[in-house]
Amino acid sequence: MSTNEQMPDIEKIRSLIPHRYPFLLVDKVVSIDYDAQTIVAHKNVSINEPFFQGHFPGQPIMPGVLIIEAMAQAGGILTQLTLGRDAQSKLFFMVKVDKAKFTRKVVPGDVLEMRVRIKRVIRNMAVYECEAFVDGEPAACAEVLCAGTRE
C-alpha cells in the first residue's frame, strides 16, 4: 500500500484524467495498492455543486449517475497509474454499467469514498468493481466497463 507522500494531489489528478469543473468528481486519492490494483478516493460533496440547483430543489441529493461517474473517474486514475505507458495518451470512455445499486442518499456535507478495483483488462478496455461509501455505510456499487482510445 502506498504512503500519503506518494498520493497524487489535485494537480496530479488533473494531469491523469481530462475532466474539469464541474465534472471533475475526484478531490483526493487516499490510497493505492498497485499489487491489488485498487484505489480509494474521495469526493467532498458540497451544496455549491451545480447539480444541486436543479436536482430535487429543496431536497439536495447527489444524482446516482454522478456517483457512478465519480467511481469511474477513480478507476481512470487507477488505470493511468497502474498501467502506465499502456494507458497514457488514451481517453477512457464509460461504455457499460452493470449491477448498479444505490443504497443511501448522498447529500451536501458528505464525503463520498470510492473504492475501485480493476477486475480485468482486455485489450483497450478495463472492467472496474466499484463501491461508494459515506461514513462507512454503502451508498452505491456498480461494475463499470471503460474503453480507451487514442486522443
SS3 139: strand
| Whether 42 is catalytic | no
User: Residues 34, 130, 102, CA angle at the centre, nearest 5°?
Assistant: 160
Determine contact, residues 17/23, Cβ cutoff 8 Å.
no
Closest CA to 69 of 7, 23, 16: 23
Determine contact, residues 67/132, Cβ cutoff 8 Å.
yes
Catalytic member of 55, 105, 117, 119: 55
> Cβ–Cβ contacts within 10 Å for residue 5, how many?
5
Report the distance separating Cα 68 and Cα 122, nearest Å.
21
Question: Would you name the residues annotated as active-site residues?
Answer: 55
